[in-house]
Chains A and B, each alone.
Chain A
Amino acid sequence: MPRLFITAEDIRRSSGELVVEQGTVVTPQALEAAAAAGVSLVHAGGEPYSEPSPDRGPDAAQAVHHLPHLPEPPADLAGATGVVVTAVGKNRPGVLAEITGALAAAGADVRDISQRTVEDYFHLVLTIALGNAAEFEGFKQQMECLGGEHDYVVRVMHERVFRFMHRI
């Protein structure tokens, strides 16, 4: 097992070159001390020290398998990301076209749609599938820019939120 830390005290006791094992963390104070004392910190291969990724302990590797299985995505999504889009606001001609137009431009597949109007106001709920999970953030930003303060508000949420909250 490699030593866990190299501290400024360790640097003071060494000179020239100090070989840092893989997994050892050099403290910031030790880095400063090494720079001041002209001690070079290198890995066994000769390349300069770089901070290792954190070792989260023996449990971490198993952690993913230990999560008990709560409601998981339905089979028909086949790799797509389920997203729920809700819009609430004042009704006017062209609202639905604006929202669905933006969805079409983003290449989103509408799986379910429901809309109600109460007097001058509407609420719209769309369940959609997004082909590529990586697009989610951009898609969310794009959709939430629609509407405005006295017009309507769009909310984009991951379908998992609803699955966790409403399914046993």
Chain B
Amino acid sequence: MAPFTDQEILETVRMVELETLDIRTTTLGINLLDCADPDLESSAEKVYAKVVHHARNLVETADSIAADYGVPIVNKRIAVTPIALVAGASGSEDLVPYARAMDAAAKEVGVDFIGGFSAYVHKGFTRADDALFHSIAPALAETEHVCASVSLATSRAGINMDAVARFSDVVLDTAARTKDTGGLGCAKLVCFANPVEDNPFVAGAHIGTGEGETVLNVGVSGPGVVRSALARLGGEVDLLAVAETIKRTAFKVTRMGELVGREAARRLGTTFGIVDVSLAPTPAVGDSVADILELIGVDRSGAPGSTAAVAMLTDAVKKGGAMASSSVGGLSGAFIPVSEDQGMIDAVAEGALSLAKLEAMTTVCSVGLDMVAVPGDTPAATITGIVADEMAIGMVNHKTTAVRIIPVPGKGPGETVEWGGLLGTAIVQDPGKFSCQVLHKRGGRIPAPIHSYRN
């Protein structure tokens, strides 16, 4: 037999043991459309029963695969159908009971998060969408494991600026209701332009209407592996060699995800959906996208050259992933969540990374403005402006973009807030003293760009 060289074997062992290669998440998607009921309590009851019924063995299965293959599976999560779609039949104006049912189900089966307290409002609001917007802040304040996401724009529909303005209010309300924990509720709330229906990562995880009954999606990570590969490469080689190294590394990481995804789906008796190959940093030393950018050749993340470096990194990751698996999906690329990446935190502390530069970098990363802390007294109009800018980037470039912004109550620019765990530490960033009151008040819709008319 002996089909592998020592070098190949030791490389894999090193990735797992020393370079923090892990499967970031196995996310079971569960369709809840059949839980609709004219009676709100009965509907919430069905949601709880269905989630528990399908996800009962998820944690156990993931743990057994982690043991068998020797690769850690860090998170087990559940993604469900956007609740606004399930809630329509109930006609209720308060959808918090759904969030309670989701939270209780997540606790019962032992998963880390359950995503899908969501609505698609990129063109307009149904009564249920309206109710969901009213329920997000109380739901996030009351529950522990529930994540909410909303779609505010698509390249086809344009940007629903009424929804953007309402989202800003929801963000501020959520921050106020969770002020004891530094506005942490906002870490479980995200808005999207062009959301993907099979995203396994929170806070945006949900399962779209085009998906099947149940589906298992996997998110792989591995900034540490890419970082080590680039560190070994050194500073002398040209950028083609750097891109090639990232691509090869991404291939290997993705294959690991594919293996785990197939096996998890097989053991659970469900369908394997996608591998989301994303470099998702954690506050752990070495598990940083900012470090990779520095190894590519910028002094600090946010310095001139950073956008080019992120562009190359994201593209090389996608190419390596596409070669490794026919089922690459989700967000796939590089995440630059500020508070979750020690290198990014350092860059903000040293004054290298401004909010404006971060926004520029999001035009080429795989998601958007992620885990950005702003002062607690930031006006709604300013948040509207920040969100609208990011939505515009997604809309015009046919790209998924997101905003996860946390107005930290009682903190001003430059102050530090500690959220702990995977969410890390943030330094409150200054959004500037100028705002966009008139734009905020106008409402209406920014029409879709001309190049969206492709039919």
Contacts and interface: CB of A to CB of B under 8 A. Distances in A.
Interface of A: 4-5, 7-9, 25-30, 51, 53-60, 63-64, 66-68, 70, 74, 76-77, 82, 84, 86, 111-112, 114, 116, 123, 125, 127, 129, 136-137, 140, 155-158, 160-168
Contact of A164 (B52, B70, B258): B258
B46 interface: yes
Contact of B2 (A25, A70, A111, A168): A111
A67 B264 CA distance: 13
A57 B12 contact: no
A58 B259 contact: no
Report whether over half of chain A's contact residues are helix, strand or loop; otherwise say mixed.
Answer: mixed
Contact of A5 (B46, B56, B69): B46
B39 A9 contact: yes
Contacts of B46: 4-5, 7, 27
Contacts of B8: 162, 165-166
B49 A28 contact: yes
B53 A54 contact: yes
Contact of B9 (A7, A9, A86, A140): A86
A70 B258 contact: yes
A84 B262 CA distance: 21
A9 B262 CA distance: 39
Given A84-B9, A86-B9, A55 B213 contact: yes
Contacts of B48: 27-29
Interface string B99-134: 000000000000000000000000000000000000
Contacts of B6: 114, 116, 123, 125
A125 B326 CA distance: 32
Nearest to A30: B45
B68 A56 contact: no
Interface in B319-362: 323, 326
B1 to A, nearest CB: 4
A27 B45 contact: yes
Interface in B287-301: none
B13 interface: yes
B441 interface: no
A158 B45 contact: no
Nearest to A162: B4
B411 to A, nearest CB: 42
Contacts of A4: 34, 46
Given A56-B214, A86-B10, A8 B45 contact: yes
A70 B256 CA distance: 12
Contact of B259 (A55, A111, A160): A160
A105 to B, nearest CB: 21
B397 interface: no
Given A58-B213, A60-B213, A68-B326, A164 B49 contact: no
B213 to A, nearest CB: 2
B2 A157 contact: no
Given A25-B49, A161-B70, 20 more contacts: A5-B49, A5-B50, A7-B46, A8-B42, A29-B45, A54-B214, A54-B269, A56-B268, A57-B213, A59-B212, A59-B213, A60-B270, A60-B271, A63-B265, A86-B9, A123-B6, A125-B6, A155-B17, A164-B255, A166-B4
A67 B256 contact: no
A25 B212 CA distance: 19
B68 A137 contact: yes
Given A127-B4, A165-B256, A157 B265 contact: no
Contacts of A59: 212-213, 215, 271
Contact of B54 (A56, A67, A111, A136): A56
B4 A84 contact: yes
A48 to B, nearest CB: 18
Contact of B12 (A8, A25, A137, A157): A157
Contacts of A56: 54, 213-214, 268-271
A137 B265 contact: no
B38 to A, nearest CB: 10
Contacts of A136: 68
Contacts of A82: 1
B421 interface: no
Contacts of A167: 3
Contacts of B69: 157-158, 160-161
B73 to A, nearest CB: 13
Interface string B11-27: 01100010000000000
B272 interface: yes
Contacts of B258: 70, 164
Contacts of A84: 4, 9
